Amino acid sequence: MEIQPISGAIGAEITGVDLAALEVDEFAALHKALLDYGVISIHGQALTADQQIAFARRWGDIHAHPYLSGLDGNPEIIEIVKEAGEPNRFGAHWHTDQVFTPAPAMATMLLAREVPPVGGDTLFTDLYAAYDALSDGMKRMACRLRTVNTYDKGTTRSKRMGAKVLEPEKEAVPAVHPLVRVHPETGKRALYINDTRIMRRFEDMTEAESKPLLDFFLTHETRPEFTCRVRWQVGTLGLWDNRRLMHLALDDYQGHRRVMHRITIKGTPTIGVDPSEFPT
């Protein structure tokens, strides 16, 4: 197995591995690569749905999406489709997955089934680097803030993806998380933020009060030097650590279709930093 970093910040491409016949030591190496690089991609993995589900289960239990339905016959897999004639609205803004649930997904896996001739890459940014680059004063404040996150059932969806939304008329229930999240496996701190479609405000503050600060954090943590870009071929399997990264699906392939098979792995409730570490 070979691991080739794809940027100075995060991301690695892995070669020399067959995910349908993975040895225990190879899985351990992939796990380490996920923790080290945040996002890994492996080309040439023409897995069946059952093989994709079996690979996903090696990472943990599968997280059933509370608001989207899966494939008939394989409900663990959500098919993300952008038709040639429509814009891509699924994930086309900076976010981490399922931050609107109390225990957001640990990881998300996409298996590319159909890709445009060019474009349709996914961008990632490193929330550890974003936290580390804050001043001590801002870290002190950030460690005391909690965010209120609500799923957007409407405005970010195409017609086709909108049809998968469960109980569209029912208001989504918000989830509250620490702004500075301690990674449960590495102990590192991540500036755990989404754009304001999901992360609407800080706890005990109004949306108007929260917005300037949320805008600052979002601009700060999408600095180009914190990012990488994953390119897809048919059969590329990409896997990212939602506890550490945000991502954005680029909408730059008008006139072409793109189909991804997506599985999310269950996560754990978020943990914040003890504020007494930063006396006021």
Ligand X SMILES: O=C(O)CCC(=O)C(=O)O
- 3-state class of 99 per DSSP? coil
Residues 6+ apart with CB under 8 A from 152: 172, 197, 198
Residue 90: CB minimum distance to ligand X, A: 6
Alpha-carbon distance values, 238 to 100, 117, 131, 136, 231 (Å): 22, 18, 25, 35, 9
Alpha-carbon distance values, 161 to 90, 91, 92, 109 (Å): 8, 11, 13, 18
The residue (of 200 and 262) whose beta carbon lies closer to ligand X is: 262
Q: Please state whether beta strands 107-114 and 237-241 pair in parallel, antiparallel, or not at all (unpaired).
A: antiparallel
Segment interacting with Fe ion (CB under 5 A) among 86-94, 124-132, 196-204, 209-217: 86-94
Residues carrying an active site annotation? 95, 97, 247, 262
Q: Which does 55 bind (CB under 5 to 8 A by kind): Fe ion, ligand X, none?
A: none
Q: How far, rounded to the nearest angstrom, does the alpha carbon of residue 175 sit from its chain's CA centroid?
A: 16
Q: Which does 90 bind (CB under 5 to 8 A by kind): ligand X, Fe ion, none?
A: ligand X
The residue (of 92 and 234) whose beta carbon lies closer to Fe ion is: 92
Evaluate whether 27 touches 262 at the Cβ level (below 8 Å): no
Tokens linked to 158: 């195409």
Site for ligand X in 60-99 (CB under 6 A): 80, 90-91, 97
Q: Which does 125 bind (CB under 5 to 8 A by kind): Fe ion, ligand X, none?
A: none
Segment interacting with Fe ion (CB under 5 A) among 56-64, 97-105, 149-157, 218-226: 97-105
Evaluate the CA torsion angle 102, 160, 117, 17 in order and state its sign. Answer: positive
Number of residues binding to Fe ion, judged by CB under 5 A: 2
Question: Binding of Fe ion at residue 91 (CB under 5 A)?
Answer: yes
Residue 123: CB minimum distance to ligand X, A: 9
Member of 10, 62, 77, 249 binding ligand X (CB under 6 A): 249
Question: Binding of ligand X at residue 110 (CB under 6 A)?
Answer: yes
Residue 131: CB minimum distance to ligand X, A: 22
Evaluate whether 38 touches 8 at the Cβ level (below 8 Å): no
Binding footprint of ligand X on the chain (CB under 6 A):
80, 90-91, 97, 108, 110, 122, 247, 249, 260, 262
